[in-house]
């Protein structure tokens, strides 16, 4: 049943496999480096080579910040530009590359923000999954607008996205729910997200209850759980540069066309 969805989900395995593959390759190179240098594996050498590996991210950051953002090199479509940046991040060793801050607000303008995981993106928008009774969901029900923020300090980059928010179809939520590990699916049933709990024990008891209720692999989608898409009308790509002269390239959607502007840092 798992992996039968042909859409744009970024399941955890896709993200962590990339990172794990990179780490494994780096570890092999570090071992080789130690053997070539000393003829044997010395722990001191092994750990000092870790610094060399870390430097490569610093190198990437230096390269990006020296080169900066030029309008003529940015894609006219911000989705394509985001894809480029996101692929760079996926191919690096940056942990949790798909963690993003989601900001929502009440209709009278009281904001709230939290981290969620990006689970896919395409021309329809940026996808995440959550509990439909949570605080964020209650705010989105009354004010279906949100801002997303990605910050990757290792490469000095930030992306801001703003847009309206819509729920995914039940089929799409089901398809994603099936890809989650069993414990996460039981956890989704057990958590009345954002509500007050008397203590930790009561959460664990709820988890055990649902674990017994759904003993096998077939766990239905909870009716209070599913996805949202942020459909962007504005983007900003930020690249940290020397002397605080950072680059900021913003895109705003007007009449189905994207306009690009440079903003002062």
- Report the interface residues with ligand FMN, using CB under 6 A: 96, 99, 112, 114-117, 128-131, 134-136, 193-194
Contacts with 33 (C-beta within 8 Å, 6 or more apart), sequence order: 45, 49, 52
Q: Which is nearer to ligand FMN, 103 or 260 (CB)?
A: 103
Cβ proximity to ligand FMN, 110 vs 115, nearer residue: 115
Give the H/E segment covering residue 24: helix 12-38
Minimum Å gap between C-beta 254 and ligand FMN is 31
Rounded Cα distance between 56 and 46, Å, is 16
Looking at the Cβ atoms of 17 and 42, the one nearer to ligand FMN is 17
In degrees and rounded to multiples of 5, residue 75 shows phi and psi of: -70, 140
Residue 61 or 136 with smaller CB distance to ligand FMN: 136
Shortest distance, CB of residue 80 to ligand FMN, whole angstroms? 25
C-beta closer to ligand FMN: residue 115 or 263: 115
Least distance CB 59 / ligand FMN (angstroms): 26
Ramachandran class of 93: left when φ > 0, alpha when ψ lies in -120 to 50, beta otherwise: alpha
Question: What is the DSSP pairing of strand 125-131 with strand 145-152?
Answer: unpaired
Query: Shortest gap between Cβ of 119 and ligand FMN (angstroms)?
Result: 7
Choosing from 244, 253, 254, 262, the catalytic residue is 244
Cα–Cα distance, 228 to 129 (Å, whole number): 6
CB 178 within 8 A of CB 157: no
Q: Is residue 262 annotated as a catalytic residue, yes or no?
A: no
Q: Least Å distance between CB 137 and ligand FMN? A: 7
| Rounded-to-integer distance, Cα 66 and Cα 241, Å | 7
- Count of positions (residues) in the chain: 265
User: What 3-state DSSP class applies to 12?
Assistant: helix
Residues with a catalytic annotation lie at 244
């Amino acid at each position: 049943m798992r992996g039968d969805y042909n859409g744009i989900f970024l399941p955890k395995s896709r993200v962590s496999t990339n990172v794990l593959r990179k780490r494994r390759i780096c570890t092999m190179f570090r071992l080789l480096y130690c053997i070539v240098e000393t003829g044997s594996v010395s722990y001191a050498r092994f750990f000092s080579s870790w610094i060399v590996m870390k430097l490569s991210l610093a190198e990437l950051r230096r390269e990006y910040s020296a080169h900066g953002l030029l309008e003529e090199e940015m894609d006219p479509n911000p989705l394509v530009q985001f894809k480029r940046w996101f692929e760079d991040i996926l191919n690096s060793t940056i942990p949790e590359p798909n963690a993003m801050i989601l900001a929502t607000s009440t209709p009278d303008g009281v904001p709230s923000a939290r981290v969620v995981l990006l689970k896919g993106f395409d021309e329809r928008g940026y996808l995440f999954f959550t509990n439909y009774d949570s605080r964020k969901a209650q705010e989105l029900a009354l004010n279906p607008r949100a801002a997303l923020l990605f910050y990757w300090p290792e490469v000095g980059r930030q992306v801001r996205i703003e847009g309206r928010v819509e729920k995914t179809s039940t089929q799409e939520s089901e398809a994603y729910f099936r890809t989650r590990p069993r414990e996460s699916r039981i956890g989704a049933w057990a958590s009345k997200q954002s509500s007050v709990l008397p203590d930790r024990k009561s959460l664990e008891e709820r988890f055990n209850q649902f674990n017994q209720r759904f003993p096998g692999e077939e766990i239905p989608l909870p009716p209070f759980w599913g996805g949202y898409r942020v459909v962007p009308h504005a983007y900003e790509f930020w690249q940290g540069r020397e002397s605080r002269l950072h680059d900021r390239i913003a895109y705003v959607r007007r009449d189905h066309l994207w306009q690009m502007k440079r903003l002062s840092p």
